[in-house]
Amino acid sequence: MDSIIVRGGSELHGEIPIAGAKNACLTLMPATLLSDEPLTLTNAPRLSDIRTMTELLQSLGAEVTSLQSGQVLAMSSHDLNNHTADYDIVRKMRASILVLGPMLARDGHAVVSLPGGCAIGARPVDLHLRALEALGAELELKDGYVHAKAPGGLKGGTFEFPLVSVGATENALMAATLAKGTTVLKNAAREPEIVDLARCLQKMGAQIEGEGSGTITIQGVDRLHGATHPVVTDRIELGTYMLAPAIAGGSVECLGGRMELVAAFAEKLDAAGVSVEETDRGLKVTRRNGRVDAVDVVTEPFPGFPTDLQAQMMALMCTAAGTSVLEEKIFENRFMHAPELMRMGAQIDVHGGTATVTGVERLKGAPVMATDLRASVSLILAGLAAEGETVVSRVYHLDRGYERVEEKLGACGAHIERVKET
Ligand code: UD1
């Protein structure tokens, strides 16, 4: 397993290109299952999660061709010959459940393995299933698989999500595009990835209104056609690299970054004393002198502060002047980076869903272990600010969501290298 070694203490100066969003791409790819015409995605990120989704779609009979070193994905679901998403693939990545709605909507049947638990909590899929039931799906859980049927096709319906779920909104939205009649999704997720999915589906001929608000209305159509769509910028990668100069000092321009993708997060950076400036190429983040101020954070569905930036923000707060309180409201058990940061000298107290961080003057490099995707990058960020060497092991988590981290940070002056293990 590869490790990443960071030698802290250098300020960062330069620019970092931000890739297309992993989470948007993972829902845009299954949208190909809705049509027998080709769907092409541009600005796709080059990540292992994307390869896993490719493998899953191919196992169903879809063609997925990766062009321009993976930045273009040309897909066609002309000949779907298998409607079972196997446990062996689904267990690697929860987003696999997103093939359920599209397959069911198009062909009236689908079998998808239940994803099981993951490192950041139980993460059930009950809302995905309940939303599909509201569209007339008949579901049976057997041997760890969801067996779904809609013999006469799905029918439009109204479903109010009891809590905001990104994935369940995506599954229901895709399914509703081919359901007969009108579907109304209430308390829907408002994330930019949902808006991006709706834009792509609209290009394919879907009738959707209200994306980006809490109520999405879909008028079902008989069939969807092919389209080409650029994947929206990755707001989590953007936020992560915005934190790099905030933690290490210096100034970095994140190319392709847009304020509306990270407004709540940028507000917190500003409150911490870090400058965020909109340029004609992206967002420029600068920290000049001294320590940042402590700020409190509560994670919430979009447009609130994203849970996927909580670990990275905690890394920044570890060296802030003062005490900050970080409250995790989306996932239980999402503080596994805290004990690793404490190995680097951070002072953190975790009680249930709340972490209290008392900033220290300087972190110290240490061997640490990545426990999940965002936790792993938070340790790299902490390493940039630490004295000495930080060795982050188990970086396969990192490769699920960040392409070329060493190159991107290295180009701005960070001392960072990957050690490959065979
Ligand atoms: C997506 C993102 C993930 C991000 C999360 C929240 C992808 C591939 N992943 O995950 O990076 O951290 O949104 O912004 O896009 N829940 C249920 N039942 C369900 C579904 C969810 O109880 O059927 C709960 C979850 O356990 C969690 C909350 O709802 O507590 C929100 O989860 P959800 O928005 O569904 O997250 P994902 O779509 O899995």
pLDDT for 124: 87
The one-digit pLDDT tens for each residue of the chain (422 residues) are 889 999 999 999 999 999 999 999 999 999 999 999 999 999 999 999 999 999 999 999 999 999 999 999 999 999 899 999 999 999 999 999 999 999 999 999 999 999 865 555 567 899 999 999 999 999 999 999 999 999 999 999 999 999 999 999 999 999 999 999 999 999 999 999 999 999 999 999 999 999 999 999 999 999 999 999 999 999 999 999 999 999 999 999 999 999 999 999 999 999 999 999 999 999 999 998 789 999 999 999 999 999 999 999 999 999 999 999 999 999 988 999 999 999 999 999 999 999 999 999 999 999 999 888 899 999 999 999 999 999 999 888 898 899 999 999 999 999 999 998 76
Quick one: which of 152, 144, 138 has its CA closest to 125? 144
Q: What pLDDT score does 394 carry?
A: 87
Q: Quick one: pLDDT at residue 322? A: 97
pLDDT at 289: 78
CA of 102 to the centre of ligand 1 (A): 18
Contact 65, 40 (CB under 8 A): no
User: What is the distance in A from the centroid of ligand 1 to the CA of 169?
Assistant: 10
Residue 276: the pLDDT is 98
CA–centroid distance, residue 60 to ligand 1 (Å):
24
Whether ligand 1 lies within 6 angstroms of the CB of 174 is answered as no
> Of all protein residues, whose CA lies closest to atom 17 belonging to ligand 1?
124
Who's near 208: CB < 8 A, 6+ residues apart? Answer: 173, 177, 198, 201, 202, 216, 217, 218, 219
Q: At what angle do helices 192-203 and 166-176 cross, to 10 degrees?
A: 10
Residue 370 C-beta-side C-alpha neighbours within 13 Å:
30
* Distance between CA atoms of residues 364 and 386, nearest Å: 5
Quickly list DSSP for 92-121: T-GGGGGGHHHHHHHHSEEEEE----BTTB
254 labelled catalytic: no
**C-alpha torsion 49→51→57→63, nearest 10:** 150
How far is residue 78's CA from residue 63's CA, in Å, rounded to a whole number?
A: 8
Q: E strands within 256-388?
A: 275-278, 282-287, 297-298, 323-327, 347-351, 354-358, 363-364, 367-369, 386-387
Enter the pTM of the model. Answer: 0.97
Question: Does ligand 1 come within 6 angstroms of the Cβ of 169?
Answer: no
328 Cα: distance to centroid of ligand 1 (angstroms)? 13
Helix axes 126-134, 100-107, angle to 10 degrees: 20
* Annotated catalytic residue, options 25, 118, 200, 254: 118
Protein residue closest via CA to atom 11 of ligand 1? 308
CA–CA gap between residue 197 and residue 203 (Å, rounded): 10
